[in-house]
Amino acid sequence: MTRFFVPGDAAAVSVGADEVAAALTGQPGVEVVRTGSRGMLWLEPLVEVDTADGRVGFANVSPGQVGALLADATSVCSREPTASAGPAPEADHPAYLGPLDEHPWMTRQARLTTARLGVVDPADPDDYARHGGWVGLRRALGMAPEAVVEEVVASGLRGRGGAGFPAGVKWRTVAGGPGPLKFVTINADEGDSGTFADRMLMEGDPFALIEGMAITAWAVGASEGYVFIRSEYQHAIATMRRAVETARTGGWLGPDILGSGLAFDVEVRVGAGAYICGEETSMLSTIEGRRGEVRAKPPIPALSGLFGRPTVVNNVLTVAAVPSILADGPEAYAAHGVDRSRGTQVFQLAGNVARGGLVEVDFGITLRDLVEGFGGGTRSGRPVRAVQVGGPLGAYVPADRLDVPLAYEAMADAGFMLGHGGVVVFDDTVDMGRMARFAMEFCAKESCGKCTPCRIGSQRGVETIDRLVAGGTESDRRANLALLQDLCTTMERGSLCAMGGLTPMPVRSALTYFPEDFGLSADGEPR
Amino acid sequence: MVEMTRVDAVREIAAGYALHRGPLLPVLHAVQDRFGAIERGDLVAVADVLNLSIADVHGVMTFFHDFRAAPPPTHVVAICRGEACQSVGAERLMADVRADLQEASDVEVHEVFCLGNCALGPSGTVDGRLFGHLTASRVGASLPGRSS
C-alpha cells in the first residue's frame, strides 16, 4: 500500500481536496490519509505521497490528474521539483514539489506550534504521540502546578489573540483566585478577516490544543474547559468534537488524566455569527447563555470570569504553544524572537497575495519579507499599495513602510498593531476611502451595542466618511474631516472594548497614508 | 397535533441540555438545526424548560445573526465581505451574484464577514459548502437547476 496524504483542511476542501480524495480512494494499492494542511495554501489541493525516499508533494492536484499522480508517485524520486510559485496551469500531470520539508518556503520557517500541521492524522492520538505529542503534558503532571506556571512565565509566551498579555502572569492570577471551581476557556472565535491559524490548528492538530488545555488546567487548578468556536468553522467544530471524545476515551481528558489525579474535561461550544464574541467578556457571556455583550473590566476574567469564577481566557495559538514549551523547556522557546516578543508568531498571509498561507517564524521578521519574500507580492501582479495587519481593527500599512519589524513593541511604536498575526495584502486598485468606510460599517454591524461611542459612533463614522469623500466646499470638507477625527478620538477613548476603541485605527491610518483617496492633499488638508 | 409534536420535540431538546452550564446557545442551535428556524412557540417552550423569561430567550436569539425566526428558502448563498476577500474582488462578486439571482425566489444571498479562507478568496458558501476562488458562474453552477 502507498499512502497518499490529502488535506481535509477547510481551505483545501474549498478548492477541491475532497474530490481528489474521493478519486484516490479505492484505487488499487492506495491508502488515503486525511491530514490538515501544511499551510502552503496557494498550492492546494496539495497531495503528499509516501515514497521510499520519504514524503513528496504534488501541487494543485485536480481529480482528473489522479491517474497521472498514481503513475508519477512511483517514479518521482529521479525528478527535479517543477513547481515553485503560483497555481499550476491545468495539465495532465500535477506539479511535483519534492519533499516539502526541504521546500524553501518551509525551511525558512520556525514551526514550533504548527510543527505537526499537515503532517499528522488529526483523528489519531497515537500519530500525535509519534510526532512528539503528550510529552509536555506528562512532564507537567510530574511538576508542581506553580512550577508549570513559572515555566510559562519564563518562556515569555504572550497572548496570541491580539492583546499580547503575558500568558504565565494571567495563569498566576487564576491560580491564586478564590474558590475551588475554575475554568479554562479557549477563544476560537477567530473572526478577523485575514486570519485562519486557529482554524487550521484545530483542524490539523486538535490534540495539541487539548494537551495545552490539560496543562493549563493542571497549572491553574481548573476542572472544566470550554473551546468556543465560531459557527462559520464547521470543519474545525467537527474535528475538535471528535478529538475531545477520542482524548476522553484515551485518558488524556477525564476524571484521572494519565493516572495523575487531575480531573479535567472539555466541551466545545459553538458561536452564532457575532464577531464581537471574540472579545473575551462577550465570549464568556455567550457561553453563559446570555447576549454577547461586553462587560466592563474590572473585574478581570482571571478573577471573576465564566459564571463569576476565576477563568483563563486564552487564544488557540497561545495554549497550543504550551505543550512544546513544557516539552522542550522555556529557554528553547524564549530563544526565538526579539525584545519582549519572545517565541514565534504564526502569521497568516492573505488577500491579494501570490503565495498565501500560514507562516510561523520568529518575531522580528519585517513585513516586507513576509509579503514579498514569503508572499511573492500580489496575486494580481500589480504593485502592493497597502497591507492591513492585525485584522479589521488593525492599521493599513503603506507600501513604503513595509520594513517595520513584526513584533509587539516595534509595531506599536510605528503606530500599528500586530493583533492575531493576520496580514492582508492590497494592490494599487484599492480605494482606501472605501476601506475606511468599511471599517466603520463593519463596526456598526457587529457592535454589541452596549456602549454609545461604538454603537452610534460607527454609524456616524460611515456617514461622515461618505460626506467627506463626496466633497463639497472647502469649509464643508474641513468640518467633516474635523468631525471624523473627533469621532475617532471619542471612540478610542470612550469605548468599552477594542471593537469601538480600535476601529479608528484602520480609519486613521487610511487618512494618514492615503489622504488622496479622501480628496485630501498630501498633508491631510482639504484641497 | 403537529404543533404539539414540535413543542414536545423542542421541550425534549431543551431538557437534554438542562444539566449543562449555560445551556441556552446549544439549545437554540439544536432547535434550529432540527427545524430550520426558532419560531415563537419554540422560544416559549425553551424558556419554560430552562426556567428563563421569554424576554431573556428572545434577547439572546435576536442578538446573534445565525438564529432565524423563519426557515430559510431552499438555497442559501453567503459571500464573504471581509477585507481579505474584498482585496480580490468580493464586492464585485457580491454584486454579480445578487444580479444573477435577483429573480430567484428560492435562493437567499447574504453577506458574511470571514469564513477563514482568506488566502484563497473570494470565498463563499453555497448551501453550507465552502468555496475558494469563487466566481458568480461557480455559484450558479453549484445551485441545482441553474447553470449561468
pLDDT of residue B145: 72
B100/B118 Cα distance (integer angstroms): 24
In this predicted structure, the answer to whether residue A77 has a pLDDT above a threshold of 60 is no
Record the cell numbers describing residue B21, joined without a space. 452550564
Cβ separation A10–B113 shorter than 8 A:
no
Sheet of strand A357-362: strand arrangement: A357-362, A344-351, A422-427, A384-389, A396-398
Cβ separation B87–A232 shorter than 8 A:
no
pTM, two decimals, is 0.96
pLDDT of residue B148: 47
Mean pLDDT of B73-88: 98
| Nearest Cα residue to A321 out of A124, A196, A156 | A156
Contact A253, A267 (CB under 8 A): no
pLDDT of residue A52: 84
Residues B32-48 have pLDDT tens digits of 999 999 999 999 999 99
In this predicted structure, the answer to whether residue B3 has a pLDDT above a threshold of 80 is no
In this predicted structure, the answer to whether residue A172 has a pLDDT above a threshold of 80 is yes
Tell which of B53, B64, B120 to mutate to test the A interface (max A CBs under 10 Å). Answer: B120
The CA R_g of chain B, rounded to the nearest whole Å, is: 18
- What is the residue-averaged pLDDT of chain B? 95
Residues A119-147 have pLDDT tens digits of 999 999 999 999 999 999 999 999 999 99
Cβ separation B118–A352 shorter than 8 A:
no
pLDDT of residue A460: 98
Q: Let me know how many helices (H) and strands (E) chain B has, helices first.
A: 7, 4
Burial (CB count within 10 angstroms: exposed 0-12, middle 13-18, buried 19+), residue A463: middle
Mean pLDDT of B116-120: 98
In this predicted structure, the answer to whether residue B115 has a pLDDT above a threshold of 90 is yes
Max CA-CA distance within chain B?
A: 53
Residues with Cβ within 8 Å of residue A301, at least 6 apart in sequence: A280, A281, A284, A311, A313
A404/A411 Cα distance (integer angstroms): 7
CB < 8 Å to B88, chain A: 351-352, 379-380
Cβ separation A274–B65 shorter than 8 A:
yes
Residues A478-522 have pLDDT tens digits of 999 999 999 999 999 999 999 999 999 999 999 999 999 999 988
Residues with Cβ within 8 Å of residue B7, at least 6 apart in sequence: B41, B42, B45
Say yes or no: B41 contacts chain A, CB-CB below 8 A: no
Tell which of B28, B51, B61, B63 to mutate to test the A interface (max A CBs under 10 Å). Answer: B63
Cβ separation A270–B22 shorter than 8 A:
no
Q: How confident is the model at residue A87 (pLDDT cuts 50, 70, 90)?
A: very low
pLDDT of residue A524: 80
- What is the residue-averaged pLDDT of chain A? 95
Distances from the Cα of A192 to the Cα of A319, B81, B87, angstroms: 19, 12, 15
A485/A469 Cα distance (integer angstroms): 14
Say yes or no: B95 contacts chain A, CB-CB below 8 A: no
Residues A308-326 have pLDDT tens digits of 999 999 999 999 999 999 9
In this predicted structure, the answer to whether residue A89 has a pLDDT above a threshold of 60 is no
- Give the chain B residue nearest A272 (alpha carbons): B66
Mean pLDDT of A424-450: 98
In this predicted structure, the answer to whether residue B81 has a pLDDT above a threshold of 50 is yes
In this predicted structure, the answer to whether residue A354 has a pLDDT above a threshold of 80 is yes
CB < 8 Å to B25, chain A: 269-272, 286-287, 289
Interstrand relation of B107-112 and A224-229 (parallel, antiparallel or unpaired): unpaired
A134/A214 Cα distance (integer angstroms): 10
Mean pLDDT of B135-143: 96
CB < 8 Å to B112, chain A: 232, 273
Mean pLDDT of A246-274: 97
Record the cell numbers describing residue A333, joined without a space. 522557546
ipTM of the complex: 0.96
In this predicted structure, the answer to whether residue A85 has a pLDDT above a threshold of 60 is no
Question: Across the interface, which of B64, B131, B132 has its CB nearest the CB of A272?
Answer: B64
Pick A199 or B148 by higher pLDDT: A199
CA-based angle B139:B140:B141, to the nearest 5? 95
B62/A290 Cα distance (integer angstroms): 11
Residues A230-259 have pLDDT tens digits of 999 999 999 999 999 999 999 999 999 999
pLDDT of residue A72: 80
Record the cell numbers describing residue A456, joined without a space. 452610534
